[in-house]
Amino acid sequence: MSGKERSPRHRPWSVYRANTFDLSAEMMGLALSGTSQDPDEPVLEFSVACSELVTPSLDRKPTSFVAVSCTTPPQAFWTKHAQTEIIEGTSNPIYLSSIAFFQDSLITQQTQVKLSVYDVKDRSQGTMYMLGSSMFSVKELLQDKHHRLHLTLRSADNERVGNITVIAWQIEEKREQRAPVARLQRGDTVNGRMVLPVDESLTGSTSIKSKSSSLCKDPMLKAVFGGVMSRTYRFPTTDGNHLRVLEQMAESVLSLHIPRQFMKLLLEEDAVRVCELEELGELAPCRENLRRQIITHYQTIILRYQETISDLHEYKGPSFKPSTLKAERKLEFIPTNLHIQRMRVQGETGYDWTYDVVTIGAPAAHHQGFKGCGLRKLLHKLEEARKHTYEEESSAGFGSKGMTYQPQDVVKAKELIAQINTLKTQVCYYTERLSRAAKERSANALERTLAILTEKTRQLETVCESKLLSSAIVALAAARPQFSQQSTPSPSSSSLSPSRSPSRSPSRHPSSPSRTAVSPSRQVTPLEGSEGSRSKRVSAQLDNHEEEWEKVWLNVDKSLECVIQTVDRLLQRDKLQSDSSSEDVFLLSTEVPNNTKKESSPEVEKKSPGEWIEVLYPLLTTLTECASLMSDKAKKALVFLLMQDSAPTIAMSLTMQYRRDVVFCQTLTALICGFVLKLRNCLCDTGFLRQLHTIGLLVQYESLLSTYGEELAMLEDMSVGIMDLRNVTFKVTQATSGFSPDMLPVITGNRTGFNVRVPMPGMMFDTLPRDIQNGMLLRVQPVLFNVGINEQQTLAEKFGDTSLQDVINMESMTRLSSYYDQFKEVLPEDCLPRSRSTTTLPDILKLLSQNVNAKKTKNVEILWQAAEACRRLNGVRFTSCKSAKDRTAMSLTLEQCQILQQEHAMAPQVFYQALDCMRSEGCRRENTMKNVGCRKYAFNSLQLKAFPKQYRPPEGTYGKVET
């Protein structure tokens, strides 16, 4: 073998670790030098190479790998520890993988290691036999001057079949403790590998300033992630150095934690909706039937949510859902095969970079199936059904079944309800604050609180001036039992804008434009002229309700004016008479207008000027009662409006909503995992943190689903779930303790918007920008790029339809460009991470846009460029296929090698060697084992012929298995 073939510069190494335990004193002694406290650092690691291997058949060279077993006395049996990759057709293989023992290996210097060399006759069938073996003790390896052993391989018949060399890697001390590093002898082609330094940040993984935080040791990440598997490699670079690469895969407790919280919020939201319908009061028989029908449907859905919550709390399995259970009803809200994939790259110059990707099986309603269609088509069908009902009732006139509103009316009504709920709470809160300030006789607090109370009350009044709300109040009045026949109000009464106080409205006369204009969002049919007397009676009754609503609104306005005037006089009199209290405070209350609902009691006359609370309390009580009355009345009217609108399509609507909830829950869980990772990893990146609270976080989903058969419907589900993430905000809080449950994210809100509180240890929280510490809501901008790569996509491109993929990619391209434009407007370029690539970010986006608009089959460059653009924009990466197991593994390993070559100058001649090594011995191979109990990717030879070349696994790593 030539020196070039033997050069260890071209050889990565690979190791495995499942858990982490504390390092014993004896294990610490195994380290050649330096410290091994970092759980990501092996206690002992060595490489192996064989020479002069011989086989019984002299006409063929062996295709070999080395299996490593160990035993520690008094243990009397061998335990398999690891194995190298397979190298084909050579008698002198130098293996790319090395063997590592981590802190959980519990080895000692007395541990015996057995090296068994196997010759593989057929990789696809797994046919092999043991060529020979050799043994050594850990003590022998450590005591050798150069930490290397040359051993003879012997067969079962004790015949010599070749040689094997073992070379231990040195673990160096911290920079301030170590001596300069020298190269080993270059004359020995096996031992000519340079000893690589361990970066200082490796030994301080829990440090806040560390560029990379340990999944095993960092308190914030350890609370969220677990079951960490590790592989490590060393790859040569173009400048003759080496890259040290740590690959890790972990599952997350959030896979269960988030769905449990989410289901509880949905249950509470729908239960509130039922209560709102029940509280509408007495309705005419036809309206009552509609209400009963809607409540029945909601109760059915609530029962399903209750069953699901019970199932999730009873679940005792692993903290991830295997792909084999993706269609399990009890677990349908749990994301499929959710893991995080981390690649940590360290160079000899001291840099340390971490790349994280969240992997998740396609967020979709697998249990409900895909025979009909996905969410995009269901939403379209629901819109068409509403439109059809609206057109029917508009052409036939409003009958006894109710009125249908346009989509913008429904959206507006939901917004009004949310605003009214919020403002009502705020008015009550600041009323209480004002009362407390008066009791404490704090002039400054009284003045500040009054300003806020005035602002919130005025906002509530403005919200209640909506024309849509006015028409809803009239509609609810017409639905009461006292109307012997349900009739649609005439335009002069049904579309009136609510009255204003004289000081804020130019005219309250019935003939003014504001009271006669027909609402543009509703079509109103006049009453039949044959029932003139009945129409007049109905119209008069509705006018009475209109006047009642006007009085309610005016009461709030006047009550607020009373509070303002009273506080002003109290403050003025207190300022003028700070040294005298001879005047009776009751004189102030007599100047208050007579419009107040309650008057000060006679006892107030006897109070001293200092008793402000006695004067203000009845006025504040009146304001609270009036604001609550107005809010409740408005809310009931809007609930009635939504009831009327939803009645014709309630069954279809709730079925669609349930599916949407399932998909969104899976997507949200993955998003939270990605946010926690990104926030912790970029804690000291001031540019990222500034970008985060200024324009929000970019989240980019990569999908490998085909646009054929069931996967087309999965893609529909997934695209809707990802776009719904625009309604999610994050808020970073300080953790109440370092206890793991106190470090888990907490969700609040409802379907109109969810907020995720992310707790952080105090020392980390203190490093955040002031805006984030003060509770600023952090937004996300989701984008999705999909390119199908399998044989079903071939069918879709030849015989089917790829329009959905084209539309999704174009929509996401628009949003991605918009995000970058927004970035350029408000932030400097130095907020973004540096890149060794010669292609600028604008050029990448231009190329991506060209590829998105190009008609090219299986254009995987879209995925590559979208992923690079995401990384360059400080975004969070997600990768997905049907089960996040096979195609996802191909994409992830390809992305990792592309990053190593583009950003870290990995030697191009080892690109495909490194790619095959990661796919055969890396973490994603173990992911298949976790999901289906077999270390094989679920491909066959015929399928792989349809795959792009870069997405094909090495021979022997795939076969027919369950997906």
* Catalytic one of 562, 870, 881, 923: 881
Q: In sequence order, what are the residues at sequence separation of 6 or more whose Cβ sits closer than 8 angstroms to the Cβ of residue 585?
A: 570, 573, 604, 607, 608, 609, 611, 612, 614, 615
Give CB contacts under 8 A, 24+ apart, made by 503-509.
504/557
DSSP secondary structure letter of residue 101: E
Closest CA to 163 of 186, 136, 132, 141: 132
779 close to 755: Cβ distance less than 8 angstroms = no
- What are the tokens at 382? 């629901």
Residue 658, φ and ψ in degrees, nearest 5: -65, -45
Q: What is the CA radius of gyration of the chain?
A: 35
Strand order in the sheet with 728-734: 225-236, 242-252, 339-347, 352-359, 876-880, 697-703, 778-786, 728-734, 753-760, 746-750
- C-alpha 65/C-alpha 119 separation (Å) is 7
- What are the tokens at 84? 């190298």
Pairing mode, strands 876-880 and 352-359: parallel
DSSP 565-576: HHHHHHHHHHHH
- What are the tokens at 816? 């991605």
- What are the tokens at 936? 């094989």
Closest CA to 874 of 780, 937, 960, 799: 780
- C-alpha 32/C-alpha 169 separation (Å) is 8
- What are the tokens at 937? 């990717």
Closest CA to 231 of 482, 42, 455: 42
Residue 389, φ and ψ in degrees, nearest 5: -65, -40
Sign, Cα dihedral of 345, 351, 355, 356: positive
**Does 923 participate in catalysis according to the annotation?**
no
667 close to 363: Cβ distance less than 8 angstroms = yes
- Residue 692 has, within 13 A of its CA and on its CB side, a CA count of 30
Q: In sequence order, what are the residues at sequence separation of 6 or more whose Cβ sits closer than 8 angstroms to the Cβ of residue 634?
A: 416, 420, 463, 464, 469, 473
Active site residues: 881
